[in-house]
Amino acid sequence: MKLIIAIVQDEDSSRLLTGLMNKGLGVTKLATTGGFLKAGNTTLLIGVEDERVSEAVETIEQICKSRKQLTTAHTNATGVSASGYMPFPVEVTVGGATLFVLNVEQFLKV
Ligand code: 2BA
């Protein structure tokens, strides 16, 4: 068995949850925050049998879109960058999804 940890954008999370549930896959949704943008995202924990990992990954690929977001990263509390210059917006591409696939040693429900 594997545990897929999928970090996705909030905008995709509801459709992804439905898509996975419709395939009979077990999923848990966590509200999380990305370290770089410091904005909300969604982390899904998906426990799957080894032979269904690719099906789960394909579902995630189909539903999760990449989007461009603007950020003014690396500023201090005054809004001025560490180098002393005013911050300027930087465009980053977020998603579709960041996935970690881990081996599960034991899956228990007690
Ligand atoms: P954030 O950390 O908020 O990052 C949002 C997006 O900002 C990233 O999209 C990437 O395009 C950009 N970015 C992140 N760190 C950067 C940096 N040091 N310099 C320049 N640009 C940077 P994604 O790569 O699609 O990541 C989306 C979210 O997935 C991340 O949100 C974070 O919550 C998670 N994530 C990504 N890589 C991770 C990792 N290695 N470990 C844990 N979580 C990760």
Say which amino acid occupies 76.
N
Residues framing ligand 1 (Cβ under 6 A): 7, 34-37, 41, 92-95, 98
How far, in Å, is the centroid of ligand 1 from the Cα of 37?
8
φ/ψ (deg, to 5) at 24: 80, 20
Q: Per residue in 14-57, pLDDT tens? A: 999 999 999 999 999 999 999 999 999 999 999 999 999 999 99
Which atom in ligand 1 lies closest to the alpha carbon of residue 93?
11
Q: Which one-letter DSSP state was computed for residue 29?
A: E
Q: Per residue in 93-104, pLDDT tens? A: 998 999 999 999
Buried b vs exposed e over 42-52: b needs ≥16 C-beta within 10 Å?
bbbebebeeeb
How far, in Å, is the centroid of ligand 1 from the Cα of 88?
19
Nearest CA to ligand 1 atom 12: 92
Buried b vs exposed e over 67-87: b needs ≥16 C-beta within 10 Å?
eeeebeeeeeeeeeeeeeeeb
φ/ψ (deg, to 5) at 47: -90, 120
**For residue 97, with 0-12 CB atoms within 10 Å meaning exposed, 13-18 middle and 19 or more buried, which class applies?**
buried
Compare 34 and 70 and report the one with higher pLDDT.
34
Tokens (6 digits) for 22: 């419709």
How far, in Å, is the centroid of ligand 1 from the Cα of 59?
21
